[in-house]
């Protein structure tokens, strides 16, 4: 029997080691508790460092809020309302962080008067899983907020385009119609004949109104899709935009490109241009930068755009602000084109936006 028990304990020890699970044995009546080495290791200690051990050792390292839930579940198990005790709980690690463990156990023996005597169980480190779950929850929340943001942006864009058409284009066309009507009356029968100079002046005014209407229409269309991309191509359009940014905001801006024979398809061009617009807009609003450097390079099979500023930078771990949804949108657009989008920033040392896309030179 001793040999059999020895073999059983040896097998049990091997199973515990093989599954990397911590074990505990608790005398519910006396509070005496035995932990294995793995139990201490999960929270960054050795058994020697936390000895002597008792149920108070468990309470010392457990999260106060989780202890309340643990007590409730234990009582339900003791009252036979639950077959097993099971709880995902937090424990304080030696380095000061909370780690997550899956705590499971069951009463294995009872006193003569029906009270729990010995209870045994295990701890499994589930910190990585809980962190992954939190990242997934944050991602879903961010996606939900981003979707709402996109809907609001669409509504604002519709409103902006409507106002642009009403306040500029429509007014130019109304004024043009009125001037044409007045001119018609002047040259119609029954009115005295006007001379050539008057006709030329009237025609010049009409032409000016047509030009204004045309400029207004182009401004609206350019907001929907920059015509610079169609006329100049991405590289030249980007250079012009950087130069305009410098002139408008008086921030020293430099543009460098090693792409001699651009072969950038329309979706890439539009995405890169929008990222450039959004990045420069963020630099103007938030960076307090005095210098911006935009670089285009084409290592083998790649197209790389870097936008570097010497502004105040930011902490990438900070809570996402509503005005940062533009950056989220950039990242998603680049993903759709099999590219990579990255932001590197250090507080007080500026920010670098880097976009990498597949590219084949002509």
pLDDT band at 234; cut points 50, 70, 90: confident
Query: What's 100's domain CATH number?
Result: 3.30.450.20
Q: Which two tokens stand for residue 280?
A: 């420069």
| % of the chain residues with pLDDT over 70 | 78
pLDDT band at 322; cut points 50, 70, 90: very low
**Per the domain annotation, does 60 fall within a domain?**
yes
Between 324 and 316, whose confidence is greater? 316
Distances, alpha carbon 184 to alpha carbons 7, 88, 194, 199, in Å = 112, 85, 11, 11
Q: How confident is the model at residue 104, as a pLDDT?
A: 95
Q: How confident is the model at residue 310, as a pLDDT?
A: 94
Highest mean pLDDT out of 1-10, 24-33, 309-318:
24-33
pLDDT band at 144; cut points 50, 70, 90: confident
Between 205 and 249, whose confidence is greater? 249
For range 290-305, the mean pLDDT: 90
**Per the domain annotation, does 45 fall within a domain?**
yes
Helix axes 170-187, 196-224, angle to 10 degrees: 160
pLDDT band at 124; cut points 50, 70, 90: very high
d(CA 261, CA 143): 38
**Per the domain annotation, does 1 fall within a domain?**
no
- Among the three residues 125, 150, 182, which one is the final residue of a domain in this structure? 125
pTM (two decimals): 0.49
Q: Which two tokens stand for residue 308?
A: 């570097």
Between 186 and 335, whose confidence is greater? 335
For range 38-53, the mean pLDDT: 94
**Per the domain annotation, does 78 fall within a domain?**
yes
- Among the three residues 78, 96, 125, which one is the final residue of a domain in this structure? 125
**Per the domain annotation, does 135 fall within a domain?**
no
Q: What is the pLDDT of residues 92-104, one digit of tens each?
A: 999 999 999 999 9
pLDDT band at 355; cut points 50, 70, 90: very high
Identify the DSSP state of 169. I
Q: What is the pLDDT of residues 153-203, one digit of tens each?
A: 666 666 666 666 666 666 777 777 777 777 777 766 555 556 667 777 777
For range 34-52, the mean pLDDT: 93
**Per the domain annotation, does 304 fall within a domain?**
yes
**Per the domain annotation, does 214 fall within a domain?**
no
d(CA 355, CA 343): 9
pLDDT band at 362; cut points 50, 70, 90: low
pLDDT band at 46; cut points 50, 70, 90: very high
Is residue 290 pLDDT above 90, yes or no? yes
Rounded to the nearest integer, the mean pLDDT of the chain is 83
Q: Please state the domain count of the chain.
A: 2
Helix axes 266-282, 234-249, angle to 10 degrees: 10
Q: How confident is the model at residue 77, as a pLDDT?
A: 96
Q: Which residues contact 2 (CB under 8 A, 6 or more apart)?
A: none
Is residue 75 pLDDT above 80, yes or no? yes
Q: How confident is the model at residue 323, as a pLDDT?
A: 46
Domain limits at 36? 15-125
Is residue 319 pLDDT above 50, yes or no? no
The 10 Å Cβ neighbour count of residue 235 is 17
Task: For 279-334, give the DSSP string.
Answer: HHHHIIIII--SEEEEEEE--TTEEEEEEEE-S----TTSPPPGGGHHHHHHHHHH
Q: For residues 204-222, b (16+ Cβ closer than 10 Å) or e, as one string? A: ebeeebeebbeebbeeeee
Q: Which two tokens stand for residue 271?
A: 């995405």
CA-nearest of 229, 337, 346, 230 to 277 is 229
Is residue 51 pLDDT above 70, yes or no? yes
Query: What's 267's domain CATH number?
Result: 3.30.565.10
Is residue 30 pLDDT above 70, yes or no? yes
What is the CA angle 278-283-289, rounded to 5?
A: 160
- Among the three residues 106, 125, 144, which one is the final residue of a domain in this structure? 125
**Per the domain annotation, does 250 fall within a domain?**
yes
Q: Which residues contact 217 (CB under 8 A, 6 or more apart)?
A: 169
Q: Which residues contact 120 (CB under 8 A, 6 or more apart)?
A: 23, 24, 25, 26, 105, 106, 108
Tokens 């680049």 sit on residue: 334
Task: For 188-250, give the DSSP string.
Answer: STTSPPPPHHHHHHHHHHHHHHHHHHHHHHHHHHHHHS-HHHHHH-HHHHHHHHHHHHHHHH-
């Amino acid at each position: 029997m001793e040999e059999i028990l020895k073999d059983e304990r040896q097998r049990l020890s091997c199973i515990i080691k093989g599954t990397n699970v911590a074990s505990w044995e608790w005398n519910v009546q006396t509070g005496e508790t035995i932990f294995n080495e793995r139990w201490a290791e999960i929270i960054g200690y050795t058994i020697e460092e936390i000895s002597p051990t008792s149920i108070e050792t468990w309470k010392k390292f457990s999260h106060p809020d989780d202890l309340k839930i643990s007590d409730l579940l234990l009582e339900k198990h003791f009252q036979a309302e639950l077959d097993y005790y099971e709880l995902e709980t937090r424990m304080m690690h030696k380095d000061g962080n909370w780690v997550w463990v899956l705590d499971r156990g069951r009463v294995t023996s009872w006193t003569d008067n029906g009270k729990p005597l010995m209870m045994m169980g295990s701890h499994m480190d589930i910190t990585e899983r809980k962190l992954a779950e939190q990242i997934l929850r944050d991602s879903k929340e961010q996606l939900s907020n981003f979707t709402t943001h996109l809907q609001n942006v669409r509504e604002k864009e519709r409103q902006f385009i409507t106002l642009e058409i009403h306040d500029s284009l429509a007014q130019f066309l109304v004024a043009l119609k009125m001037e044409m009507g007045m001119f018609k009356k002047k040259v119609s029968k029954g009115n005295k004949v006007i001379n050539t100079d008057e006709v030329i002046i009237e025609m010049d005014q009409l032409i000016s109104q047509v030009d204004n209407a045309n400029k207004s229409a182009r401004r609206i269309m350019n907001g929907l899709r920059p015509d610079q991309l169609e006329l100049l191509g991405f590289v030249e359009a980007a250079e012009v935009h950087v130069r305009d940014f410098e002139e408008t905001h008086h921030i020293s801006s430099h543009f460098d490109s090693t792409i001699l024979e651009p072969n950038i398809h329309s979706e890439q061009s539009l995405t890169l241009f929008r990222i450039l617009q959004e990045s420069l807009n963020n630099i103007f609003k938030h960076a307090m930068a005095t210098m911006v450097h935009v670089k285009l390079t084409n290592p083998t099979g790649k197209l790389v755009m870097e936008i570097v500023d010497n502004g105040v930078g930011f902490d990438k771990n900070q809570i996402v602000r509503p005005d940062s949804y533009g950056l989220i949108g950039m990242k998603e657009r680049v993903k759709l084109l099999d590219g990579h989008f990255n932001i590197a920033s250090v507080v007080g040392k500026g920010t670098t936006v880097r976009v990498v896309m597949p590219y084949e030179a002509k």
